Amino acid sequence: MNKEIQIGNRIISENSPVYIIAEMSANHNMDFNRAKAIIKAAAEAGADAIKIQTYTPDTITIDCDDDIFKTQSKIWEGMSLYKLYQMAYTPWEWQSQLQEYAQKLGLDFFSSPFDFTAVDFLEKLNVPAYKVASFEINDIPLIKKIAGTGKPIIISTGIAYLEDIDLALRACNEMGNNDVILLKCVSAYPAPYEEMNLKVISNMSQTFGCIAGLSDHTLGAETSIASVALGGKVIEKHLTLRRSDGGPDAVFSMEPEEFKQMVEQVRNVEKALGRVTYKLNARQKENRTGARSLFAVKDIKKGERFTAENVRSIRPNIGLHTKFYEDVLGQVANCDLKKGTPMEWKYIKYEDN
């Protein structure tokens, strides 16, 4: 997989830094200034992008109190979808101002649209990419509408079977758009660690020949960090100012300091992963002197034979290689050797055994 996808000024590829997205979602709590504060916190924490959601209650569901229109999630249990989205949506009149603010802080700004009108609205903002939420992966008309913009698409797979992912990708391809990133996701809030199955990330990348990453709803940073070691190139994580402030998504969101620590740890893991090489750097070459080699470990007289008692493999590595140990044993010293002398060929007189 040697694919490259550009979002804003950032290139996402197998060899690029991990692209880290701070998801605001509903954590603005319907307060414009709080939304700006979350964007600022994302920039200060080292995120590459801030993502919002573009819908209204009426573009995502209908106002109906029947049980089938009530959420099944424990943290929003019993609430109608319409009322939940009334609390959670990001007012459209904010979005151009939030975009401008994010861009001033060096963040990419894009959104998850939930219907055609949202895509048209975001196109007027000229967002650099789109996100398809997990529950929209089976909305093929919406995916085609997004793909038709020609912008990169990030798709979460939280409720998807393999065939759902394949269908979504084929819909993008039909529209001539192959710039798709797939995110492993578990649509549980918060997501249990034992359900994450992070090994899917590398398999998903190989199976579909695409860049893959993680949309992480767990409470901690461990899964996001581990995803990097498994080849993930994109991380999405919810960000709030303080969980104690409440809100629909607060319980499974990171606070700014936690997000910053996660970013730092991800960057450290990136450095540690490095590249496939068996060459030694200058420090490693220098440290080879700390390895073992053959030494005289007792005083040895000229004509005396080398034995396991007077020659050993010890540190440091300035004598003969240890692979010659058995060749040396039984041979004769051609000069006196003091205890602690590194063995060299010139000290050995060979005799036929």
Q: What is the pLDDT of residues 182-221, one digit of tens each?
A: 999 999 999 999 999 999 999 999 999 999 999 999 999 9
Task: Give the CATH fold of the 282-349 domain.
Answer: Type Iii Antifreeze Protein Isoform Hplc 12 (3.90.1210)
Pairing of strands 130-132, 153-156: parallel
Q: What is the pLDDT of residue 15?
A: 92
Count CB-CB contacts under 10 A for residue 61: 17
pLDDT band at 78 (very low <50, low <70, confident <90, very high): confident
Q: Which two tokens stand for residue 97?
A: 């101002």
What pLDDT score was predicted for residue 137? 97
Q: How far apart are CA 121 and CA 114, in angstroms?
A: 11
Strand 180-185, strand 153-156: pairing = parallel
Q: Provide, rounded to the nearest whole percent, the portion of the chain with pLDDT above 70.
A: 97
Rounded Cα distance, 237 and 280, in Å = 37
At residue 7, the 3 state secondary structure works out as strand
Whether residue 147 has pLDDT greater than 80: yes
- Cis preceding linkage at 57, omega within 30: no
* 3-state class percentages of the chain: helix first, strand second, coil last, to nearest 5: 40, 20, 40
Residue reference for tokens 């020659």: 311
Give the three-state DSSP class for 52: strand
Residue 266 to residue 213: CA distance in whole angstroms: 13
pLDDT tens for residues 100-137?
999 999 999 999 999 999 999 999 999 999 999 999 99
Closest CA to 300 of 254, 257, 343: 343
pLDDT at residue 6, as a whole number = 97
Q: Is the pLDDT score of 1 beyond 60? A: no
Q: In angstroms, rounded to a whole number, what is the distance separating the alpha carbons of residues 186 and 167?
A: 19
More confident residue, 79 or 203: 203
Q: What are the φ/ψ torsions at residue 94 (nearest 5 degrees)? A: -80, -25
Start-to-end Cα distance in the chain = 59
- Find, among 100, 112, 102, 87, the residue nearest to 30 by Cα: 87
Going by the DSSP 8-state scheme, the letter that residue 131 receives in this structure is E
Closest CA to 345 of 316, 323, 324: 324
pLDDT band at 80 (very low <50, low <70, confident <90, very high): confident
The full set of domain ranges for the chain reads: 15-273, 282-349
Cβ(248)–Cβ(226) below 8 Å:
no
Take residue 218 and report the two structure tokens written for it: 């767990």
Burial class from Cβ neighbours inside 10 Å (0-12, 13-18, 19+) for residue 295 reads buried
Share of the chain above pLDDT 90, in %: 88
Question: pLDDT tens across 283-324, in order?
Answer: 999 999 999 999 999 999 999 999 999 999 999 999 999 999
Phi, psi values for residue 64, rounded to 5°: -145, 135
Mean of pLDDT values over 45-65 = 94
Please state, rounded to an integer, the average pLDDT across all residues of the chain.
Answer: 95
Report the C-alpha gap between 111 and 128 in whole angstroms.
9
Reported as a pLDDT band with limits 50, 70 and 90, residue 85 is confident
Give the separation between CA 244 and CA 251, rounded to whole angstroms. 8
Token pair belonging to 196: 């994450």
pLDDT at position 2: 62
Length of the chain, in residues = 353
pTM: 0.89
Number of other CB atoms surrounding residue 139 within 10 Å: 17
Question: Would you state the pLDDT for residue 87?
Answer: 83
- Helices marked H in the chain: 32-45, 57-60, 81-88, 92-104, 116-125, 140-147, 162-174, 200-208, 222-229, 256-273, 282-287, 325-328
CATH topology of domain 15-273: TIM Barrel (3.20.20)
- Longest CA–CA separation in the chain, Å: 102
Q: Name the token pair of 3.
A: 């694919």
